Structure 1
């Protein structure tokens, strides 16, 4: 199921950030590896994305399959 949200933060040095879901609720983390476009183009704060929800190695939810809209 696709979800939509906006980039709340992204740390280019650490390679991870957070998305604020459009449906509300807790922010969801993502890593550079989840980006499906050219990884040399970093996501920007306020950018609208679609994503799926997966689980990180610590079993916490995370955004995967990030795409620009």
Structure 2
């Protein structure tokens, strides 16, 4: 299931950020490598994205398969 949200922060040095889900709830962390086909994409604050929800290596919820809209 695809979800939609807005980038609330992104650290270009560390390569990770957070996305605010449109449906509310907790912020979801994401890694730059989570962009499905746009590997060189640098997200900007306020940018709208679609994503899937999964878990990272620490078993925390995160955004995966990010795509710009």
Structure 2's unaligned 5+ residue stretches are none
Which residue in the other structure is 2:5 paired with?
A: 5
Normalising by the residue count of structure 2, what TM-score does the alignment of the two structures yield? 0.94
Q: CA RMSD in A?
A: 0.9
Following superposition, which runs of at least 4 residues in structure 1 exceed 4 angstroms of deviation? Answer: none
Structure 1's unaligned 5+ residue stretches are none
Matched, 1:33 2:45: no
Deviation of 1:41 after TM superposition, in Å, equals 2.9
How many residues end up aligned between the 2 structures?
69
Provide the rounded CA distance (Å) in 2 between the counterparts of 1:59 and 1:38.
25
